[in-house]
Amino acid sequence: MYYVVTIATLVTMGLALVRALLGPSVYDRVLAVNMLGTKTVLLLSVIAFLYGRPDFLDLALAYALINFIGVLAVLEFFRSRALRRNAERGARQ
Amino acid sequence: MSALLDTLSWVLLTLGGLSVLIGGIGALRMPDLYTRMHAASVTDSLGAILVLGGIMLQAGWSLATIKLFAILLFLLLTSPTSSYALASAALLAGQRPFADASQDGEGPE
Amino acid sequence: MIVMFGIFLLTLLVITAIAIVRTDNLFVAVMLMGIASLLIAANFFLLDAADVALTEAAVGAGISTVLFLGALALTSERERAKSWNRLLSFIVVAAAALILIYATFDKPRFGDPEAPVQVHVAPWYLEKTPEYIDIPNVVTAVLGSFRGYDTLGEVFVVFTAGIGVLFLLGGGKAGGAVPEEEIDEGLRHHLIPRVVGRVLIPFILLFGLYVQFHGEYGPGGGFQAGAIIAAAIILFALLEGENRALSVLPERVLLGLMACGPLLYGAVGLAGIIFGGNFLDYSVLSSNPVKGQQLGILLIEAGVGISVTGVLLGIFHAFAARDS
Amino acid sequence: MELLGIYNYWVFAVLLMTGFYAVVAKRNLVKKLLGLSLFQSAVFLLYITMGKVEGGTAPIFPEAGAAVFSNPLPQVLILTAIVVGISTTALGLGIVVRVKEEYGSIEEHKIQEIDER
Amino acid sequence: MNALAQHLPALQVVVPMLAAPVVVLLRPRGLAWAAATATSVLAFAISVQLVQAVLEGGPTSYLMGSWPAPYGIELRVDALSALLLLAVTGASVLALVGGRDSLDSQIDVGRQPYFYAAWLLALAGLCGIVVAADAFNIFVFMEISSLASYVVVAGGPDRRALPAVFKYLIMGTIGATFYLIGIGLIYMMTGTLNLADMEFRIHAVADQRPILAAAGFITVGLALKAAIFPLHVWLPNAYTYAPHMVTAFLAACSTKVSLYVLLRFDFFVFQDNLTGHAFQFAAYLMPLAILGILVGSAVAMFEKNVKRLLAFSSVAQIGYMMLGASLVTVAGLTAGIVHIFNHALAKGALFLAVASFATIAAGLRLDDLKGIARRMPWTFGAFVVAGLSLIGIPGTAGFVSKWYLISAAMEFGAAGLPLVFIILVSSLMAVVYIWRIVEATCFTKAEDEPASGASASPVLVAVLWLAAAANIYFGLAPALPLTLAGDAATELLGHLP
């Protein structure tokens, strides 16, 4: 039964990757990265049980957390970029 | 009892897999950023609940369940937060939802 | 079945890699690099390398993305030039590829328990770890004790990178166009991420400590913990702004952490000499050699954790401070 | 199992070459560093692949029962190599930022033009 | 003291390494230089001790963490490593002692602790490579020394240092990664990382394809790091724009250490295990060595910047070392190894002299140095001595290695004559490029005589003359390097039939 979930997760990861490659906007790509991250968390949780080593769930937890920080870093990047662009525009005028 | 739990967890896992998959298809097929985000984020949360819940039933009462619960809690907190933040960033940057996209195209990249 | 999962993940990985090279938007390339890291890490997990998967996720997908974004914010997002010397590069690359593919034919079968790798040195580690060190995680045992000298070198590599970035970017800020207060507020106006982040940070720190001290029993250890703790503080800096983060952990403290980690590791090594053993011989640290080994590993892992945290934060701050 | 063995090695070769191509052919400094990371990741894959034992599990003794374990040594080496890789990347990015400040560009040929002027 | 003696191989690496974080933490900042210099001197003292130990008792080995050899990490100091240790630590001491003013003028005080820490790490990394007897450990220390070298090179005041160091970083990392791939392939076939164990176990799988590919990857990777022609493209710019003292230090020893690893692998690990390896090694590397000698010298003859000129001369000199090694005889290898040492002496002294010129000259193009000999006669004198040594005039260290190289080539009878011819031609080319500097500095007058009374610090001139004197001393009494090199060569080739 774990296999079903694993396959579904893997396929979804593939679909998310396609979305990341297609874009079109950068936000779509960030969305795809985020989605891939959460799917990886699910995948690892399931595989930890598939392998019979539930003590490896720590990894899934770490992934979840890293993923969140990654997305926020991207947002901060957007924000500071917007500020810089505004400032440059202001400086030009 | 154990057979009941087993069946229940299988059902949860299957439903979870299904909803994850639907989310994936939605994220690929929906027409614009916000609808894609909608598809992705809703199924993210639902899928996580179902799949992790299913595994929890399999794991029984152990340390693993506590860890799974922590992961679930974490996902339920962060996943909607990221979606919200992403949507707000996109909106502030001038990406228009699909409804008004007819006027100004796909919006700037 | 798992084999098929592995193949699928690797295929996705190859597609991602090619896309990274092809795109001319550097931001997209960095995002794809994050995806590639996640895929590689998942694949490491399938190949039984739990510790490596954890490190790759924390370092590759987390810290590396943050650093690349920090650098992109200071440079530019577009790649303006076409490739050059395509033909020559292609020939060089193809030649190397042919040599590699040529080499694959005599390789031992994948997963072969009789392969030279599996029968020579490695079984000794698996066999002797319970006897000499008595901790469940053999990877930590090899990393901390049997090949502890490599790990010492690795800590110093990290340290070198840290002082290198400080040397290059520290001091003499480049003036930017954006007013200081504005750039510095971080994501403070985003209420929801801020509240959620604040709730999570203590738990992330706690988890980091767990990874640090649980490294002898499960996947984890100093590097992973250092990266996770650094990530938590980076999260704080993202949410509250650079200055608030710096007031919590000023630069001097970071420099102290950076330098004290390697010193702690080195001191444990020298203690080996002082108590009559060889360098990095932990057995002499306690009257019971096995206890001594465990104590030594605990201490050096702490040193590793401290230095990785310090260096990663130092590098992040060096990039972020350039912004203003 | 046979298939995955060769497939892993081939993916290693392809990844290595993709990264290597980016390093050699691209003229954008950040892209070169991205290529370099990819190049190094490929090597990590090579090492981890060779450590896998059929039917084995991660070399962390479980609470109950002996089992077949995969090789811990390549994992240790790669842990070290990953950290070395991120250190190199960080230092490289530091240099790139300085280059941008001094030259106003991160494209190799533009920098050359400026220098020759 | 006796108790510490057995730990010397470890301390050789650990002392400079642990001093680095201390240097960063030191207050006030001016202490950084003093601490770095003191540490370097200590490291030099340790290496002198090690040389003595090797001369008296043969190779010594040290087990890190007391774990037995193929399982733990082994350190091993034999004649070859002892010779290199002497060169590395000696170069560091001379450059640091002589270079204080020069460095003060090129790097601002606030950044100096980082700089000196990186310097010590580079020193520790190079020493670590030389004493290691474990393939992966060599990789780790190679990365420490490379990263630290990038940092110190980037300290150059000219902005062109930055693109140069970026190129250095990219090529250095490719080299290191190739080396890592090679190690991986060998490890896959033998299951071990210890060099001696590897040599022993490689017999069983010799001539299988992964081993051949590994030999290729390791050779190419290390050739990149050692700047063997045509993989030298990173070197000229990196040496030109680095701070002067860094150039003196790195030119004297950093590429040589990579060359050392190359010799270790090709002679110790692969030799005799791969069919026809000696022939292939000679067949591939000798043409490259010869091309490197000729092209490097030719470019140097037309180069206008003094540092760049000397950097290209380094490319040529690396060719000599490779040429000696590619003869695959004890005599040839001895010559190559002696040249590693002698070139470190000559090139170190030359770059120190350049640093001294730089204290009063406006720039380092030949035109900027016009007439400088009159204002700095002592520096000029030392420059000439070192230059003569580089050319190979009898009575200097350079002559010894060239003489040995020629006699090694003559062992092949008539077949060796072309080599002798090439060595003579390239020596003439060296005469030309050294003469160009001498001509510019001594026999042309500056258009406008600057009135500034500044001159190089007496310490620098003293150190410079010390280096020049060493060139003469080792030219007249070459017993020490020759004994060590001879021992090293016999040891490397020892297991040949």
Least confident of C49-53, C154-158, E147-151, E372-376: E372-376
- Report how far apart, in Å, the C-alpha atoms of C3 and of each of B17, C7, C48 are: 20, 6, 13
Q: Which of C187, C190, C196 sits opposite B78 (nearest CB)?
A: C196
Tens digit of pLDDT for each residue in E292-340? 999 999 999 888 888 999 999 999 999 999 898 888 888 888 999 999 9
The minimum CA-CA distance between A7 and chain C, rounded to whole Å, is 8
The minimum CA-CA distance between C211 and chain D, rounded to whole Å, is 15
Structure-block tokens of residue E87: 């060169």
Interface test with D, best of E114, E169, E225, E305 (most D CBs within 10 A): E169
Is pLDDT above 70 for C175? no
Q: What share of residues in chain E are helix, strand, coil (percent, to 5)?
A: 80, 5, 20
Average pLDDT score over residue span C100-118 = 78
Tens digit of pLDDT for each residue in E98-118? 888 888 888 887 788 899 999
pLDDT at C53: 92
Interface test with D, best of E153, E166, E224 (most D CBs within 10 A): E166
In 3D space, the residue among E379, E318, E322 whose CA is nearest the CA of residue E349 turns out to be: E379
CA-nearest residue to B109 within chain A is: A25
In 3D space, the residue among C209, C306, C221 whose CA is nearest the CA of residue C256 turns out to be: C306
Q: Which of D32, D40, D112 sits opposite E170 (nearest CB)?
A: D32
Q: Supply the DSSP string of D8-56, one letter for each residue.
A: HHHHHHHHHHHHHHHHHH--BHHHHHHHHHHHHHHHHHHHHHHH--TT-
Question: What percentage of residues in chain E have a pLDDT greater than 70?
Answer: 96
Q: Do D93 and C97 lie within an 8 Å CB cutoff?
A: no
Q: Do A49 and B59 lie within an 8 Å CB cutoff?
A: yes
For D84-107, give one letter per residue: b (16+ CB within 10 A) or e: bbbbbbbbbbbbbbbbbebbebbb
Tens digit of pLDDT for each residue in C120-134? 888 899 888 888 888
Query: How would residue B103 be classed by pLDDT, with cut points 50, 70 and 90?
Result: very low
Average pLDDT score over residue span C52-79 = 87
Q: Is the dihedral of CA C98, C101, C107, C113 positive or negative?
A: positive
- Rounded to 5 degrees, what angle do the CA atoms C284, C289, C295 make? 80
In 3D space, the residue among E110, D101, D100 whose CA is nearest the CA of residue C171 turns out to be: E110
Is pLDDT above 90 for B45? no
Q: List the chains bordering chain D where 3 or more Cβ pairs fall under 8 Å.
A: A, C, E
Is pLDDT above 80 for E171? yes
pLDDT at E27: 73
> Contact E232/E297 with Cβ under 8 angstroms?
no
Residues of A in contact with D62 (CB under 8 A): 53, 55
Q: Do E62 and C270 lie within an 8 Å CB cutoff?
A: no
Is pLDDT above 70 for A16? yes
pLDDT at C181: 52
Residue C137's DSSP bridge partners are D60
Q: Which of C197, C220, C239 sits opposite A58 (nearest CB)?
A: C220
Q: Which of A24, A42, A58 sits opposite B20 (nearest CB)?
A: A42
Q: Do E143 and D98 lie within an 8 Å CB cutoff?
A: no
Query: How would residue D3 be classed by pLDDT, with cut points 50, 70 and 90?
Result: low
Residues of A in contact with D60 (CB under 8 A): 55
Q: Is E305 helix (H, G, I), strand (E, B) or coil?
A: strand
The minimum CA-CA distance between B10 and chain C, rounded to whole Å, is 19
Put simply, whether A77 touches D (Cβ < 8 Å) is no
Structure-block tokens of residue E451: 């009135």
Tens digit of pLDDT for each residue in D5-52? 678 888 888 899 899 999 988 888 999 999 999 999 999 998 998 888
pLDDT at E2: 61
Structure-block tokens of residue E223: 């050739």
- Report how far apart, in Å, the C-alpha atoms of A10 and of each of A66, B22, C241, E59, E69 are: 20, 13, 37, 56, 44
Is pLDDT above 90 for E145? yes
Average pLDDT score over residue span C249-270 = 90
Least confident of B70-79, C315-324, E137-146: C315-324
Please give the Cα distance from E486 to E497 (Å, whole number): 18
Q: Which of C145, C166, C263 sits opposite E65 (nearest CB)?
A: C145
Mean pLDDT of chain E: 87
In 3D space, the residue among C117, C116, C110, C94 whose CA is nearest the CA of residue C10 turns out to be: C110
Q: Which helix (H) or strand (E) holds E278?
A: helix E277-302
Tens digit of pLDDT for each residue in E473-485? 988 888 888 888 8
Tens digit of pLDDT for each residue in E186-225? 998 888 999 888 888 888 877 788 888 888 899 999 999 9
The minimum CA-CA distance between A82 and chain C, rounded to whole Å, is 10
pLDDT at B100: 53
Put simply, whether C61 touches A (Cβ < 8 Å) is yes
Please give the Cα distance from E118 to B33 (Å, whole number): 48
Scan residues 51-110 of E and list those with Cβ closer than 8 Å to C. Answer: 62-67, 70-73, 108, 110
Query: How would residue E142 be classed by pLDDT, with cut points 50, 70 and 90?
Result: very high
Tens digit of pLDDT for each residue in C131-174? 888 888 899 999 989 999 999 999 999 999 999 999 998 754 44
Q: Do E166 and D115 lie within an 8 Å CB cutoff?
A: no
Q: Do E118 and C255 lie within an 8 Å CB cutoff?
A: no
Structure-block tokens of residue E157: 């005041």
pLDDT at E497: 39
Please give the Cα distance from E94 to E244 (Å, whole number): 13
pLDDT at C174: 43
For the question of whether the overall pTM of this predicted structure is more than 0.95, the answer is no
Higher-confidence residue of D60 and C143: namely: C143
